[in-house]
Structure 1
Amino acid sequence: MSISLQLSVLLAVMVIVMAFGWRWQKRHSNAGIVDVLWSIGVGFGAVWMAWSGAGEPWPRYTMALLGAAWAARLAWHLARRVLHEAEDGRYRHLRSHWQSHQGKFFLFFEGQAVLVVLFALPFTAVARNPINAVTPPLILGVIIWIIAVAGETSADRQLARFRSNPMHSGKTCREGWWRYSRHPNYFFEWLHWFAYVALAWGSPLAWLAWSGPIVTYVFLRWISGVTFTEAQALRKRGDDYRDYQRTTPMFMPWFPRSPTSSKEAS
């Protein structure tokens, strides 16, 4: 099957899925469902590309397993928040800014269908890999995936545990990974995409696998991740979060600066 046909089928499926997601959002006034469906869509993209790809089994099946497992964990984590918590502050702000205009929300949801296709491009590279063996790059890809998913899972759990304590209302989590990065969950999600760069080693489309970490970083850093999350954190936690910004690296985990040195630097 040609790559264009693979991506067209994926887009058609996700357009329908996101339309149902928009209807759910309209009924429940919670746009957070779009993140759940996006995660599921990317996982489906990995499985679909593996099933319909022309490459050898080892890289295709490994990709399908890793992509589906990553998506299932993330979708489950997000779904629990969507179903049991109020709408995420980012989407509440968007709802207020758009004055609950459902036409704009519909376009937003369908835009996510297009993004699923964009994020599926690395899978097309792996699905064309002609090397049918357990190679060092394949092993490296699995190792990167394990580190990334374990890190993202632990960061999510640390934040959830912190938020569950009523005494922490209005405060910023500085526990575990959150002591070393303001967005460790985003960092590990970005790291996860390098697994497919390794799995694509030897593919004639190996260069295309780099779109995963590149596009993910652009979105997380400047479009849908850090920018919106930090704006919401500043609205909600004010000076406490400003202090956190001064002392803690934004993305890459590293040792925090002391309050004194951060003030001197400013």
Structure 2
Amino acid sequence: MSSFDTSAWAGTLAWAGGAMAVVLLATFVVSKIVGKHAVIDTTWGLLFVTAAVVMAVRSTGDDTRRWLLLALATVWGLRLAWYTGKRSIGKPEDPRYEEMLDKQPGNGDLYALTHIYLLQGVLAFIISAPILVGGFERSSVGVLAWIGVAIWAVGLFFESVGDAQMARFRADPANKGKLIDTGLWRYTRHPNYFGDACIWWGIFLVAADALPGVATIFSPIIMTLLLTIGSGARILEKSMSKRDGWDAYAARTSMFFPLPPRVKKAVTS
């Protein structure tokens, strides 16, 4: 018997893509009701949960790996959806989407569907590869997969704790316009993004424990690039750099990977 059910996997890709498209269309309807496209940020995590659920229902691989991938993707995706959804309540449209749509007068809905919803759907589908492939691997889970679970746990810690620390910081009116440089933010300027990257490297290792999961390495690479030089840290730092103390904070704090703060050497005469 083949170690990978190619026929069932191909059918699952179609089901996963269709299910994710339904979620995106529902999100677009909600966006029209609430009057902002920023709701797609909440749906981002749910797209991966959708892919994982479809995989779990249809996959024919090792049960331990299937349930591991479902659990890791679902815990991460639901937490992210809950956090972004809660944070956006009562907030206006995201300036990123406003800027995009202002350039398309009279064609806003079509442009939003193709450049916001479709684009994020395609990215989520591609990044879901370790989940959609790993669920069909029939070999037993090995050490590499459990290392992946450990890296995933580190990522969840950095992402959830970093988000919680930022939420508490912003909730204090005395911190308005200031930069957070305590907690995990003392060691990296983006603990939540670092955590997100770890999440996907961990999920990849669970799939890479067997062939053809190794071939899905493009997934964590794409996610890491999005977080560092794509729509993540690069754009956020443009806003952060306008705040008082940014130069000093950036000089002593690692951009992405957590490191001890750099100490400026005293100049001696």
Specify the TM-score bucket, using the shorter chain as the normaliser.
Answer: 0.7 to 0.9
Give the match's secondary structure for 1:76.
helix
- Counterpart of 1:256 in structure 2 is 261
- With over 3 angstroms needed to count, the CA separation of the structure-2 counterparts of 1:6 and 1:144, relative to structure 1, is same
Alignment match, 1:221: 228
* CA distance, structure 2, for counterparts of residue 95 and residue 249 of structure 1: 34
Change (3 A) 1:154 1:13: same
1:186 pairs with one of 166, 187, 193: 193
**Pairing 1:101-250 to 2, within 5 Å after superposition:** 101-107=108-114, 108-132=116-140, 135-234=142-241, 237-250=242-255
Pair 1:144–1:229, CA change in 2 (3 A)? same
Q: Does 1:39 align with 2:39?
A: no
Deviations 1:198-254 (A, max 9, x none): 3224422122332232111111112211122122333xx434334332332111111
Q: CA RMSD in A?
A: 2.4
Shift of 1:93: 4.3
Q: Match of 2:89, SS?
A: helix
Q: TM-score, normalized by length of structure 1?
A: 0.87
- Judged with a 3 Å threshold, the aligned counterparts in structure 2 of structure 1 residues 166 and 216 are, in CA distance, closer, same or farther, namely same
Shift of 1:162: 0.4
Identity, % of aligned positions: 26
Deviations 1:35-79 (CA, angstroms, capped at 9, x unpaired): 211210111212222322231111111111111111111111111
Report the number of matched residues: 259
Q: 1:102 to 1:137 in 2, by over 3 A?
A: same
Q: Quick one: which of 8, 11, 14 aligns to 1:8?
A: 14
Q: Indicate the residue corresponding to 2:3 in structure 1.
A: none
CA–CA separation in structure 2 for the residues paired with 1:231 and 1:91: 16
Amino acid at match of 2:36: N
Instruction: Give 2:16's aligned amino acid.
Output: L
Cα separation, 2, equivalents of 1:244 and 1:31: 32
| Unaligned stretches of 5+ residues in structure 1 | none
Shift of 1:82: 1.7
1:84-107: per-residue Cα shift (whole Å, max 9, x none)? Answer: 434444444445555693332221
- CA distance 1:173–1:25, change in 2 (3 Å): same
Q: TM-score, normalised by structure 2?
A: 0.86
Partner residue of 2:31 out of 17, 25, 29: 25
SS in 2 for 1:228: helix
Equivalent residues of 2:147, 2:202 under 8 A apart: yes
Task: Write out per-residue CA displacement over residues 140-173 of structure 1, whole angstroms, 9 at most, x where no aligned residue.
Answer: 2322222211221100000000000111111111
Aligned AA (1:11): G
Between stretches 203-212 and 96-105, larger displacement belongs to: 96-105
CA positional deviation for 1:179: 1.0
Q: Which residue of structure 2 aligns with residue 50 of structure 1?
A: 56
Shifted more, 162-171 versus 210-219: the winner is 210-219
The 3 A distance-change label for structure 1 pair 14 and 141 is same
Q: Look up the SS of the partner of 1:145 in the other structure.
A: helix
